[in-house]
Amino acid sequence: MKCAACRLRTARCFGWFDPRRKTGAPRWVCSMRCMHALRRRWGVIDPDEHEIAAIQAASPMAGEYLESIGKTDLAVLSDAEWLTLLEVIVTAYQDALAQRLDSGSHPAPPLPGRAA
């Protein structure tokens, strides 16, 4: 089942319903972020600074992979090469995002019940 907010990732254990509507069926989402997006009725939210930086960090990895196989025209990639390219990009993105978030370079969310 696809996430009801981003419609990209698999919905997980996050269910949301609009309390103003009389429906018993929750809309399933992939993350708290997408749950908040539904709550705000924004649909897909824009990437934050960490996600943008992670995308930028993944770009050279994609270039390195393409150089390693000697191809720059994506139309000539085999199915396996295309899937490997996607894996390289996704892995580099996730690694860069995790590194940024684990390094403490992001502000920690305020604790519930305490002033920020």
Least distance to Zn ion, CB of residue 11, Å:
7
Contact 6, 30 (CB under 8 A): yes
Q: With binding defined as CB under 5 A, does residue 38 bind Zn ion?
A: no
Q: Whose Cβ is closer to Zn ion: residue 5's or residue 88's?
A: 5
- Residue 6 or 54: the one with the smaller Cβ distance to Zn ion is 6
CB proximity list for 92: less than 8 A, separation 6 or greater: 57, 58, 61, 62
Nearer to Zn ion, 5 or 85 (CB): 5
Give me the phi and psi of 63, to 5 degrees please. -65, -40
Under rule CB under 5 A, residue 4 binds Zn ion: no
Closest among 33, 67, 32, 53 to 95, alpha carbons compared: 53
Is 34 one of the binding residues for Zn ion (CB under 5 A)? yes
Give the binding site for Zn ion (CB under 5 A). Answer: 3, 5-6, 9, 30, 34
